[in-house]
Amino acid sequence: MTALTDLATAVGTGHVEVIDLTAPLHSDTPILQLPQQFGQTEPFQLHEISRYDDRGPAWYWNNITTGEHTGTHFDAPVHWVTGRDGDDVAAIAPSRLIGPAAVVDHAAESAADPDFLLEVEHLEAWQAEHGPLPSGGWLLYRTGWDARADDPDAFANADANGPHTPGISPTCARWIAEQTDLLGLGVETVGTDAGAAPTFEPPFPCHAELARSGKYGLTSLRNLDRLPPTGAVVIAAPLPIVGGSGSPARVLALVERDS
């Protein structure tokens, strides 16, 4: 297995850089807020059990409470009604948690228009330049939104009409589901759908199409600007919550450097 020996050596020397695509997880980590008639997810919280005190003189530990879909997290197919017979997050084969990354960069368009939507033409143009989207790989959609991730209001970017965050058009979501062999889609925003997606026809098309086709979602990613358009390998590691619809995940990218 020289490939693995070579990989370990390359990580040690920095020839392969490990880039963390994960947002820190804390009580202010932005979470999705749905219209008030719906059930709501809870923020991440630590609940101290003991800290070198009467409750445990030599040890520090916490309980945690969190929604499954908090911070950088993984959407399993069963998250959406269109994938209700699909895999829960614990059922996903571990070999499907690692794959090559295709990075599309629309940060400039998203800065100019926070409601920017990725279209099929954008992906066709990317493929014309970089080759086909990778079978068994991740499509990572850079919008620059991670720069807002420490400010929940700027991250949600909501007004009286709801949130304004970039996403994917219904046609493009269907195209990804039906015309690609991707593992799934990763985004920098709080969810895979655009902020305005509740008003789309159909609503939440990205969730619906990814789940219908057995594909996965990754959200609240960071540092996509440090990845090349092709050549990175992504490891997305959700907790194996039995029956879970998703999980906070540690998402790492391996990138080969020249030096």
Point out which residues bind Mn ion (CB under 5 A).
Answer: 69, 75
- Name the minimum Å distance from CB 106 to Mn ion: 21
- Name the minimum Å distance from CB 102 to Mn ion: 21
Q: Which of 15, 26, 73, 79 is catalytic?
A: 79
CA–CA separation, 51 and 26 (whole Å): 18
For residues 69 and 212, which CB has a smaller minimum distance to Mn ion in the complex?
Answer: 69
- Name the minimum Å distance from CB 127 to Mn ion: 27
Residue 188 near residue 145 (C-beta atoms within 8 A): yes
Closest CA to 209 of 75, 59, 102, 113: 75
CA–CA separation, 139 and 61 (whole Å): 37
Exposure letters 81-106 (e unless 16+ CB within 10 A, then b): ebbeebbbbeebeeeebbbbbbbbbb
For residues 169 and 192, which CB has a smaller minimum distance to Mn ion in the complex?
Answer: 192
Question: Does the annotation mark 79 as catalytic?
Answer: yes
For residues 99 and 191, which CB has a smaller minimum distance to Mn ion in the complex?
Answer: 191
- Name the minimum Å distance from CB 9 to Mn ion: 36
For residues 69 and 222, which CB has a smaller minimum distance to Mn ion in the complex?
Answer: 69
Lookup result for tokens 């609940």? 47
Residue type at 47 in one-letter notation: H
Lookup result for tokens 């800065």? 111
Active site residues: 79
